[in-house]
Amino acid sequence: MVSVSLLVVVAAFAGCVRGWGADGHRTVGFIAMEFLTPKTLAFVQNSLGTEFNRSLGTAATWADDVKNEQAFLWSKNLHFVDAEDDPMDGSCSVHELRDCGNQICILAAIANYTTRLVDKSLPATETQIALKFIGELYLLRDISQPLHVEAVAAGGNGITVTCAGKKTNLHAIWDTNMLELNLDAQFGGSVQSYVNSLVSRIQDDDFSEPVSQWLSCTSTTEPFTVVDPSKRALHTTARHPDVARDVRAATITPLACPLVWARESNGFDCTTVFTFRNGTDVCNTGNYLTSAIPVIDLQLARSGLRLATWLNELLDP
């Protein structure tokens, strides 16, 4: 009997551990729930059902959870866009064709699942998948994480840094470590307290820029430009040579807003992310962590409100 209860404890703990790194996603999902219209909220709750406690916050890690499963391996490369810019030399940029010419990236994925969410010809299971991808993944955390919009060293995965005495990498500290340190230091480790704080700050317009500015791009249909398919190049990156394919077959019309958000996010690679000093503990020395936390707060709050607005536009126009 002892071993059985131990197993239960281990299983419960494993559930928590998997959540490490997922708090950013959850935060955005829970923020979004606060800004849905009644009609959108009803749609979301109904589509997600009890499996996800009818909440975008609870479902927020689904896309990360499944990406290593056989059936969803293909979705791995949809969590980011490899912006082939030069942030270490102060040059940041995202180009739809250069960086997502093959349409296997977060920009095309947002466009794809935005269309699919409201495609009435699709079965409910596909609608739910679209909702989880849009909500739980793309709009949420990933496109707002500067290193998910960066090609250098596979989005910083290949850059070793020390954070609070732990040897890790630049990508991981932006996904996870710095947020967790801040949660522990300021919010008693509680995602819900953090969410409450960000929701209040959104309502009080208490950020470094007016909250209304976050919603300057909200069209769920406006294409970023008219794309001439013959001008697309065969696209491959050092990071994902396997995803090269003939992009002239590309079928998704890229949207304007995701590119705006990607560029905004990518801008932080130049101003903040790559300013760490090599050889220092980036989470102890104060300066780097201190400049990173407001960026993390801003990006998570923005994503939450934008996600809600996006879903409201789609589901309760």
Ligand X SMILES: *[C@@H]1O[C@H](CO)[C@@H](O)[C@H](O)[C@H]1NC(C)=O
Q: Whole-number minimum distance, CB 119 to ligand X, in Å?
A: 10
Note whether 109 binds ligand X by CB under 6 A.
Answer: yes
Is 82 a binder of Zn ion (CB under 5 A)? no
How far is it, in rounded angstroms, from Cα 33 to Cα 37? 9
- Is 278 among the residues that bind ligand X (CB under 6 A)? yes
- Is there binding between residue 175 and Zn ion (CB under 5 A)? yes
Binding status of residue 180 toward Zn ion by CB under 5 A: no
DSSP character at residue 226:
-
DSSP 234-299: P---SS-GGG---GGG-----BHHHHHHHHHHHHHHHHTGGGPPTTSBTTTSSHHHHHHHHHHHHH
**Complex with ligand X: residue 42 or 252, whichever CB lies closer:** 252
Handedness of CA 104, 109, 112, 117 (dihedral sign): positive
Stretch that binds ligand X, among 106-114, 193-201, 220-228, 238-246 (CB under 6 A): 106-114
Whichever of 143 and 250 has its CB closer to Zn ion, that residue is 143
Quick one: the chain helix, strand, coil %, rounded to 5? Answer: 65, 5, 35
Among 216, 279, 290, 317, binds ligand X (CB under 6 A): 279
Stretch that binds ligand X, among 53-61, 143-151, 187-195, 223-231 (CB under 6 A): 53-61
Tell me whether residue 228 is exposed, middle or buried, using C-beta atoms within 10 angstroms of its C-beta: 0 to 12, 13 to 18, 19 or more: exposed
Q: Is 103 in the site for ligand X (CB under 6 A)?
A: yes
The DSSP code for 142 is G
| Residue numbers at the binding site for ligand X (CB under 6 A) | 53, 55, 58, 103, 108-109, 112, 116, 159, 252, 278-279
| Residue numbers at the binding site for Zn ion (CB under 5 A) | 175
